[in-house]
Structure 1
Amino acid sequence: MFLRSFGFALLLSCPGVPHAQSPAEPCPAPQLDGGFLVPEQETYLHESSLMYACSAGQKPAVEGWWATTVCLNGLWSHTPQCINEDACFTPNIPNGKYNESPEGLWYREGSVIRVKCDEGYKHQTWGATASCRKGAWSSLPVCERSETSCDEPPKVQHAVVLQKYQDIFSADSEVRYECEHGYSLEGTNARKSILCVAGSWAIVPSCIKEISKPGAGDDVDTSGGIKKPVDGSRARGRGTASAAAAAAAAGGAASAAAAASAAAGGSTASETGSGTTSDRTESTSSPLTIAVVNCGSYPKVKNGDVVRRTQMFLKYACNGFYKRVGPEKVMCYNNDTWSTLPTCKEAFCQLDLDEYTNYKFQESGTIILKERETKSVACIWENFSSRITCAQGKVRLTQCCHYMDHYYQRCN
């Protein structure tokens, strides 16, 4: 007897041994005012179905003139309820949210809901509310995608976006990229944000393999290799074969010889005061361009960024609402300086719709247009809108006009 009791206790205490599952609970019969249940029972087994209908002037709290509920482990999938036939069911409004009903699944006659569109969406018409009348909703608002919203941020190899994924972003949304270990954003620090402006993302970064910087006494030739100066002098190390090659390429044999002599540590003719014309030209020429890694961190251009990097130059581009002024390429000189940088000049217009209340715009907030871009902004009257144009940095608006007015000819 003792052994049998001990064995039973051991079976209950051993992990991994299957235990008998407790049976699913039945459901008690629900109370239903103003209707009847089929079948009528005191209790209903798990997964049993129960149908019900309501008396004249009433209807079930879910769609249809009769309804079905299911017993699920002691609870009904929905509690049977009969409501006034003039009540409204919870509406389905894609991409929009509205105030919940205190009744749960339905709204009383005369209830009003106010719809707020999700991020990146706007109201299709000027109406943002709906009311329950005689069991139906009056003109439910529709949320459509805004033309100023953006798709998901572009994919960047070796990078992630530092936020939860979503496929629609509203205007002015900002996302931040970060590169994986061993990579860095080209021409920037380890992180960078891009902005959604007027339906498109600003210039997207790229993650490049990090390159070890040369030491203070190293020199980088045009083939990308690092070589040590023979005498430890960085300045003289840069004037070796590259100086002689540059002079020879210019077609001057004497200049090439002079450059080679300088590379070997000898004096040029110009240093002794008896130099030739070629010698004087060599001594006053502009600095030589060398590999860009020699100049350290890349120079920053406000509202622009590096979009291409080669061994010998950086290529800059401006963000979507700016235009470049100045050189497109920037090079590194052998005196540790950069060539002239470009600048990014504004090429957009900005308009605060809230400041133009007399135009009766349906939308609010600020819109941004690129240079020579035209947009239509809906007014509060159906099929009426205003045309807004950006030209030479200035905004031009038309009055609210009907779509059928021959493409706004009578609005100008």
Structure 2
Amino acid sequence: MSLRCLVFILMWCPAALRAQSAAESCSAPQTDGGFLVPEQETYLHGSSLAYACNDGWKPAVEGWWATSLCLNGSWSHTPRCIDESSCLPPDIPNAKYTESSEGWYQEGWVLRIKCDEGYQHKTWEATVTCKNGAWSSLHVCERSGNACMVPPKIPHAVIILQKYQEIFAADSEVQFECEEGYSVQPADTKKSIFCLAGGWSEAPNCTKSQVPDVGHDGDTLDKVTKPVDANRGRGRGTHTGGSTVAETGSATTSDRTDSTSTPLVVQVTNCGAYPHISNGDVVRKSAMFIKYACNAFYKRVGPDTVVCYNDGTWSEVPTCKEAFCEVDLDEYANYHIKESGTIILKERETRDVPCKWQNWISRIRCTKGKISVSRCCHYLDYYSRLCN
């Protein structure tokens, strides 16, 4: 390469790098009704900002202040201040509803809640309404009386499911597979059970298959069952005729899918010691699953039910995340709050604290670990919703 070309490349590369860096930066977001910290025209990739909103406004995410991260020219969420009377998406387990393209809902918005299969509305109401920044009621979807719990154990068989579930809707059909050396008679019998009016139908029996064996002299010996190798431990499989045999302790099951498919669920004893989670513990034990719960002031993240797979591994284990707010009232001295010191609020807890004037209170909320403290207001105005 000539010296002239080399000089050209050295002069060209810095400009290209600057162009690439500019392409990855984020422009300052427009936050009408709020302010940014730090306030800049552009933000480099990987940098973050914090923002809060003026009186009468709130961030379009939980909390009275929020942060956002610049990632390749886009914000992890667009900083935005919305009217304080608007509502954020509700958290309703085992249910679905129409999600807003804006990410929030205006006051007066009515959401129709649809419970998942196997669940029903706890009350006759199937809607919630956004009123003054909160939903009209805490909606609950509970197990339907016609739904079924976990299928009963079938001797010498394994339930065939893509993933473990604890609730099955009415009329659900669940298939099972007999272990190697066992079959359902007659052969054309369907290997299924059904959820009927809250209970499972009776399952066909898996009985030993009698197969003829041929001796060296060509004579047929007495019918015997095919022996099972006792050394084939849990979580391992052997290949028989091109199909994988997944073993479940006392039962084995032919897995007719390839190795990348979801493993079969087996008894939890096949996976050994239960997984440990910080700030939580096992609260329910079953032959086919274990359930976790978190300690007070902590919230579960992930599934509460954990199962054992036929390869000897556990399914996804939950974690326990802090679900409380620690409020130092001394930091809010300019709010004219009468009390001082530190108080602890649970997640979603609201507490009224007295102000320096008689019958005036300040309302403190804990939402997703973030604190919201209101200005002092007469308690009658609070209860008539004249104060936010």
Shorter-chain TM-score range: 0.3 to 0.5
For CA contacts below 8 A with separation 6 or more, give which structure has more relative contact order.
Answer: 2
**Which has the higher Rg, Structure 1 or Structure 2?**
1
